[in-house]
Chains A and B, each alone.
Chain A
């Protein structure tokens, strides 16, 4: 085996490793809606004003569904970025929806303090069990799903979602 063949083989090997790693990541983070995610998009939640609001209200948008709670510090920390992104990318079809697994009073208070500029809905804690099959097996918060206008999961994020990642969706 000459030097050129050795180089080509090494390149092929490395390429296969990279393809495997990136492909695995893609497989884990993308995919058409199914199971609990389908139920989620078909579900309705109570808004802070008491009105029942179906998530289908925002069908056709790039929907960022953020599960959070006021008792969750990391959730509170990422929300200013969401407010900023909602302003910056609303014209491009971005729609945040916060789903608070929490009580109404602290949620309303915090949303007002922060100046949240997107809908905040209240969820029954049973949804924390439901998110286990959406890519959040430990039912932790924050947890965010990005759904495309074609109802495909563009991103699943357990933990903080950065502004740069939201920005990259519309780049």
Chain B
């Protein structure tokens, strides 16, 4: 009888029948479990009798390798990297016939808080646009904030400022500048983005214009506002 007669490939570390030789594997499984949040890793349990020390060592390595190959991608896949905020919530604006339109798309697994929208046009509060953006959304019972309204899909609003209808100089603007503040989270990544401000300068007749500031212009000013519960 060789000393390796009972050697076997064990992929059931939580099975007490597997004996004392599984302590190292249990550690690995625990690590994988903690990384993946999965309660159990299951796989086939082949029992391989071997005759030589070299093959036994190879199988030992293979045991670890299989766990690594299975566990590592699961660990990496369990918590996806957060998307850049402009990818998670792409913002565009249009300015046609003095009508201003704003649209924000929402990537799957993400959401925007309706009541955290703030909009300015040419430095002044864009009351109607902001009201429209805050008015929609679907109710969500948030464990932290109670009943809130969120957007999980694209949201858009359009408005023709009263000033533009008066026939004065403002009615023939060749461009307008919008400032939009929004705040959202990613359920898939388990994170929240800080309040984000974007500026869009839109020429008259232009559609689907993206923000001019790819990077946040500075977070500090946003935190002076009430963003907390």
Contacts and interface: CB of A to CB of B under 8 A. Distances in A.
A74 B185 contact: yes
Interface residues of B, number: 47
A1 interface: no
A119 interface: no
Contacts of B99: none
B76 to A, nearest CB: 8
B65 A141 contact: no
A18 interface: yes
B193 A168 contact: no
Contacts of B192: 69, 71-75, 140-141
Given A15-B61, A21-B72, A102-B228, A73 B220 contact: no
A158 B37 contact: no
B228 A103 contact: yes
Given A4-B55, A73-B142, A18 B190 contact: no
Nearest to B224: A103
A159 interface: yes
A126 interface: yes
Contacts of B229: 70-71, 106
Contacts of A106: 228-229
A145 to B, nearest CB: 15
A33 B37 CA distance: 28
Interface stretch (B79-87, B170-178, B204-212): B79-87
Q: In the complex, which of the residues B85, B144, B191 has the most CB atoms of chain A within 10 Å of its own CB atom?
A: B191
A105 B79 CA distance: 32
A85 to B, nearest CB: 13
B191 A140 contact: yes
Contact of B220 (A8, A11, A126, A138): A126
A75 B143 CA distance: 12
Contacts of B85: 138
Contact of B194 (A76, A105, A141, A168): A141
Interface centre among A7, A22, A71, A103, by most chain B C-beta atoms within 10 angstroms, is A71
Nearest to B72: A21
Contacts of A14: 62, 65-66, 69
B228 A70 contact: yes
Contact of A73 (B34, B64, B145): B145
Contacts of B145: 73
B88 to A, nearest CB: 9
Contact of B193 (A101, A124, A138, A165): A138
A142 B183 contact: no
A142 B144 CA distance: 15
B185 A138 contact: no
Interface in B40-76: 54-55, 58, 61-62, 64-66, 68-69, 72-73, 75-76
Contacts of A159: 79, 82, 189-191
Contacts of A69: 192, 194, 228
B222 interface: yes
B219 to A, nearest CB: 4
A71 B69 contact: no
Contacts of A160: 190
A101 B216 CA distance: 16
Interface of A: 4, 7-8, 11, 14-15, 17-18, 21-22, 25, 69-77, 101-103, 105-106, 124-126, 128-129, 138-142, 158-160, 162, 164-165, 168
23 contacts: A14-B65, A18-B64, A18-B65, A18-B69, A21-B68, A22-B72, A71-B192, A71-B228, A72-B191, A73-B185, A74-B185, A74-B190, A76-B144, A101-B194, A101-B223, A124-B220, A125-B223, A138-B193, A139-B216, A140-B82, A141-B194, A158-B81, A158-B191
